[in-house]
Structure 1
Amino acid sequence: MTATTASSEDNEDIRSTMSYSPTPRVGSMHDIDVLQEDEVAIAVMGPTGSGKTTFINTLSGSNLRVGSSLQSCTTTVQVASPFQLDGRWISLIDTPGFDDTSRSDTEILTQIASFLAAAYEHGKKLAGVIYMHRISDVRMGGISTRNFKMFRQLCGESTLRNVVIVTNMWGEVGREVGEAREAELGSDDRFFKPVLDKGAHMLRHNGLTSAQAILHYLIGNHPRALRIQRELVDQGKNISETAAGEELNRELAEQIKRHRQEMAALQEEMKATEAIREKDEETRKELELESRKLQAEMARVQNDSNKLASDYTQQKAELEKRMADVAEAARKETEAAEENHRRQIQELEDRLHHSSVASNSEKEDIQRKLSDLQRQYDEARSQWRPRRGFFGKIGRALDSVFHL
C-alpha cells in the first residue's frame, strides 16, 4: 500500500469546490439545532509533539496551546471552536498522546475513554480519526510504536476506513528522504501497512490546503463507533476489559516485570558493595538512592494498573454531572440573553408606538437604535452560539473534571 497526497490539480479542484470558513458563524436559532444534529466530529491523535494542536489551530482558527519544548501541552482532551467546511459544522478534537510528560498512560486512557463513551451514549459518533506522525523522525521508535498500538486498540478494525494517517513536518526533511520513509511506513508490517491494508489512508500534511484536503476526504464518511465505545457502552465492559485497557495493562505488567528484574540485580549489587562499605561508602549511598527510586517507580506503575477501572468509573460519573451542569448553564445563558434582547426591543418599540407627537428625526433615531440593537445581538450570538456544539460541551465538562 503506497501513501497518497493531494496533487496540485487535486488541490485546485478542492479549492474551487470547497466552501471554507475558519471563523465560526451562526445566524439563527435553527443553526444551533443544526450544529448539534449535523456536527461533524473528527478526533486527532498521535504522539506528543507530532503537530496535532498546530494542525487543529490551522484549520479551526482556534488558539489551543502549542508546545515548543519536550513538555506536553495537550494534557487533556480539547475541542476546538466549530467551523464550517463545505457547509458542514466541523469540530476537531485534540487528544494527548500516550507519552505525556505530566500524566500517566492510565490517566490519558481514562480521559479519552470517558470523552468517547459520553459522546456515544448521547448518540454521537466520529466521522473520522486522524493519526499524526512526524516524517522527520529517523525511525519509528518504541514510544511511537506504543502510541500507535494504543491507537489501533481504541479504534478497532471496523472503523479503519474512517482513519487517515497524516505524515507531518515534511519541511524538515529532504524530499527523497521523506518519500523513502513514507514508503517504508506504508509497506512494513511493523508500522502502518496492516491498517492501510484494511482501509485506512495515508496522506501528507504540509500546509492549510493539504489540511483542508484531509478533512474534505473525511467529512463525507458515515460516522462509526470506535471499538472502545462499543466495548464500554454496547457491551458494558469494564475499561480494563477493553482492548485498549488490556493493552495498557500488558504494558504496565511488562514495566513491573522489568523493574523487578532491575531491583533484583540492584540488590545483588548492594550485597556485594556491603562487603566493602568502608572502602566505597559513596557507591553504597548511590545504590541505596537508586533502589528507593526504583521502588517508588514500581509502586507508581502498580498503582496505575490497580486504579484504571475505579478512576474511569468515578471520572465518567463526574463527567456526566458536569455535562448536565454545562447544558443547564448554557440554557440559562441563552434564555437570559434572549430575554434581555426582547426587553430592549420592546422598550424601543413602545417608545416608537407612543411617539405620535415626536418629530420625524426622533422616530428615525429610534428606528436606528432598533436596527443597531438587532445587529449587535446577531454579532454577539455569532460568537457564542457555535460553542454550543455537543462535542464542545463535553470538552468544557472534561476541563472542569480535571481542573484545567
Structure 2
Amino acid sequence: MKNLRMFKRLCGTESLASVVLATTFWDNGPDFPKYLQRENELKTKDDFWRGMIQNQSKVFRQDSGRISATRIIEYLVQRDRGSTRNRPILDIQRQMVDEMTPLDKTGAGQEVQVWLTQQREAYERKLAQMRVEWEQALQERDKEWQRDLKRNTQEIEAKIKRDEEDKNRLRADNAALHQEQEELLRARAKQIADELEHERALQQQNAQELQKAIDAGEEHRKRLEIQKKKYQQLVNYRCTVM
C-alpha cells in the first residue's frame, strides 16, 4: 500500500494513462477462481487500482510468458509512437523542474515524510510499552525477560536511528539538488549572456562593415561627381572653342 501511494505521488494523475498494471503467477488450476477474485479486488477497490484504472491505466495479465510480455511492451510502444504530446511528464519532474519545488516538499517527498513520522510514532509507542514491561521485569527479577526487553529496545532504537538518518539524507539530497539546480541556472544564464555578447559583437561588426560600405559608396559618389563636373567643363570648353 505504501509503495502504491508513493508510485501515485511520483507519477501524478496525468501520467497514469501510461501505466500498465500487470498481474502474474496465473494458472488454470483449482485456485483459478481465487485469482479472478483477487484480480477483481485489485481493479475495483479504491485502496488498490480502481482510481488508476479510472485515469486510464491499463490492466494486463502476464500469463503466457513471452507472448503476454510482448503484448504489454507493444501496447506501451504503440501508445506513444509518433507523438510527443502523450509522453508522460511525472509529477515529481513537473514539481522539481518546472515549479522548482524542493524534493522534501514534493508529493513524493511528503509521502516519505508522513511514512517516517508514522514509523517514529509506532516505535515510540512500543518503547513506552517496553518501559512499562521493564519496570515489571525488574520487580519480578526476571533476568531473561529483562534481556529480551533490552535486546528489543536496542533493535527499535536502531530502527529509529536509521529512519532519522533517512530523513536527514532526504534533506541533504534536497539541498544537493537545489544547489545543482542553482548551478545549472547559473551556467545557463552565463551561456545566454555569452550568446548575447557574441550577438552584440557580431551586430557591431556588421554595423562597422555597413558603415565602411556606406563611406566607400559616398567616396565613389564624390569621385563620380568630380568626374562629371570635369566632363561638363570639357564639353563647355569645346563648345566655346567651336
3-state secondary structure, aligned to 1:211: helix
Equivalent pair of 2:15/2:89 in contact (CA under 8 Å): yes
| Higher share of residues assigned strand | 1
3-state secondary structure, aligned to 1:202: strand
Q: How does 1:234-249 map to 2 (within 5 A)?
A: 234-249=98-113
1:215 corresponding residue in structure 2: 73
Matched, 1:266 2:122: no
Matched, 1:201 2:61: no
3-state secondary structure, aligned to 1:189: coil
| Superposition TM-score, scaled by structure 2 size | 0.66
CA distance in 2, matches of 1:172, 1:281: 55
1:232 corresponding residue in structure 2: 96
3-state secondary structure, aligned to 1:165: strand
- 1:190-214 Cα deviation digits (max 9, x unpaired): 2111110111111111211111111
1:175 corresponding residue in structure 2: 32
3-state secondary structure, aligned to 1:152: helix
Instruction: Note the C-alpha offset of 1:312.
Output: 5.0
| Superposition TM-score, scaled by structure 1 size | 0.40
Equivalent pair of 1:164/1:203 in contact (CA under 8 Å): yes
1:151 corresponding residue in structure 2: 7
Q: How does 1:99-110 map to 2 (within 5 A)?
A: none
CA distance in 1, matches of 2:40, 2:145: 49
Matched, 1:285 2:144: no
CA distance in 2, matches of 1:276, 1:177: 50
Q: Which structure carries more relative contact order (alpha carbon 8 Å, separation 6+)?
A: 1
3-state secondary structure, aligned to 2:101: coil
Q: Aligned match of 1:295 in 157, 162, 187?
A: 157
2:169 corresponding residue in structure 1: 307
3-state secondary structure, aligned to 2:89: coil
2:190 corresponding residue in structure 1: none
Cα gap change, 1:225/1:283 in structure 2, threshold over 3 Å: closer, same or farther? same
Q: Aligned match of 1:187 in 28, 44, 47?
A: 44
Whichever residue aligns with residue 159 of structure 1, its letter is: S
2:114 corresponding residue in structure 1: 250
CA distance in 2, matches of 1:168, 1:300: 33
Whichever residue aligns with residue 58 of structure 2, its letter is: H
Equivalent pair of 2:104/2:174 in contact (CA under 8 Å): no
CA distance in 2, matches of 1:246, 1:313: 16
3-state secondary structure, aligned to 1:224: coil
Residue-pair matches, total: 172
Instruction: Note the C-alpha offset of 1:302.
Output: 1.8
2:203 corresponding residue in structure 1: none
Cα gap change, 1:208/1:313 in structure 2, threshold over 3 Å: closer, same or farther? farther
CA distance in 1, matches of 2:45, 2:10: 21
Q: Aligned match of 2:21 in 162, 165, 177?
A: 165
* Seq. identity, %: 28
- 1:256-308 Cα deviation digits (max 9, x unpaired): 0000011011011111222232xx22221221122122111111112212221
- 1:149-201 Cα deviation digits (max 9, x unpaired): 11111100011111111111213864322222111211112211111011111
CA RMSD of aligned residues (A): 2.1
CA distance in 1, matches of 2:16, 2:87: 12
1:71 corresponding residue in structure 2: none
- 1:336-355 Cα deviation digits (max 9, x unpaired): xxxxxxxxxxxxxxxxxxxx
Unaligned runs of 5+ in 2: 81-85, 181-242
